[in-house]
A = this chain, B = another copy of it.
Amino acid sequence: MKSRAVVLVSRPHGVAQAENFAIREAELGVLPEGHVRVRNAFLSVDPAMRGWIADRGNYSAPVEIGSVMRSLAVGEVSESKVPEFRPGEIVTGWFGWQEFADVAPSSVVRRVKETDLPYSLALGVLGINGVTALVGLETIGEPRPGETVLVSTAAGAVGSAVGQIAKILGCRAVGIAGGSEKARTCRELFGYDAAIDYRGPGLAEALAAACPDGVNVYFDNTSGAISDAVWPRLAVGGRVVICGTASFSSWDPWPNGPRLERHLLVKRARAQGFVVFDYADRWEASVAKLADWVRAGKLRYSEDVLDGIEACPDALAGLYRGENRGKRLIRLTK
């Protein structure tokens, strides 16, 4: 039996384009001892992938040229040579952009227990995106009922969960998204109290109107011009979760912007970088909490599903072009 994989063939400067990848097909060999073979059902496409293949230091070891692109995936165990997993079990983990993955048990993040819900959620609202939203908000944002939580990329996979969790926690949720359609999705699908299209005129004025008491928690997925408009609106004692920097496709040359120190000082504010992989011990409990909210209809999600492994090479560049509507996934099996 053959398996196809998406391999990194050149290192991008900035965002990876389709030509940085190639699809390779190879015969599946004998599963090595101590390994599990997973047939991937869905592959994840995440903004953080830019960093995993970047030509600069990052918080993750880089994917090597010639290697299968690193990715989270969800699939079914098709064969096992370890006692912990049996064929037929649904697992999610670091299985890469490929049809079949032969992995050690350490690459399995978790067994999917929420089998009453679509498996694809293990990559989104019940996976890296939902856990990022919940743990980032809880540990760094520390929102209190009645406070204003502002989210950039508010309609995205992480942002939409942040906004809804803020509402569940009794906060006022305000979103910033690109385009009037996404802003409307924020209000109508995800229940934000207010949503602002940053491409429209008067971002600063719109923020002032939507956050009359200032911003207590800013969940920042963008940096850049959006954040430049937000920082002056921070409330005293504000908390800023630095979760992503989607405004910049490259940090070489390093971009400049208005200095943050004076805002931090005058507002006695706190800004802290958040990388979800530092919080592995909170993963299982967080997924359980998120799943309960999904079942109760309190936590909605939106998926942007592309079909077939051929869609992988351009899928990441497409994220940075802003073409997705919801969590981007590649579906391999029906």
Please report A residues at the B interface, Cβ cutoff 8 Å.
57-59, 220, 223, 227, 242-245, 248, 251, 254-275, 278
Contacts and interface: CB of A to CB of B under 8 A. Distances in A.
A190 to B, nearest CB: 24
A245 B126 CA distance: 43
Given A223-B261, A256-B257, A261-B220, A273 B278 contact: no
Contacts of A59: 265-266, 268
Most buried by B among A267, A268, A273: A273
A227 B268 contact: no
B223 A242 contact: no
Contacts of A243: 265
A262 B57 contact: no
Given A220-B261, A256-B259, A259-B257, A270 B271 contact: yes
A264 B266 CA distance: 19
A32 to B, nearest CB: 33
Given A256-B256, A257-B256, A262 B251 contact: yes
Contacts of A251: 262
Nearest to A243: B265
Nearest to A140: B270
Given A256-B256, A258-B256, A275 B271 contact: no
Nearest to A59: B266
Given A254-B259, A256-B257, A258-B254, A265 B275 contact: yes
Contacts of A268: 59, 272-275, 278
Contacts of A260: 260, 271
A73 B258 CA distance: 36
Contacts of A269: 272-273
Nearest to A258: B254
Given A59-B268, A256-B258, 12 more contacts: A220-B261, A223-B259, A242-B261, A248-B262, A256-B259, A257-B257, A260-B271, A264-B271, A264-B273, A266-B273, A267-B273, A270-B270
A271 B274 contact: no
Contact of A255 (B245, B255, B259): B259
A271 B242 CA distance: 11
A209 B254 CA distance: 23
Contacts of A263: 273
Contacts of A244: 265
Given A256-B256, A257-B256, A223 B262 contact: yes
Given A273-B267, A273-B268, A262 B278 contact: no
A2 to B, nearest CB: 39
28 contacts: A57-B266, A58-B266, A223-B262, A242-B261, A242-B264, A242-B265, A244-B265, A245-B261, A245-B265, A251-B262, A254-B262, A255-B258, A256-B256, A257-B259, A260-B260, A261-B273, A263-B273, A264-B271, A265-B275, A267-B273, A268-B272, A268-B275, A269-B272, A270-B270, A270-B271, A270-B272, A271-B271, A271-B272
A50 B265 CA distance: 14
Contacts of A257: 256-257, 259
A5 to B, nearest CB: 28
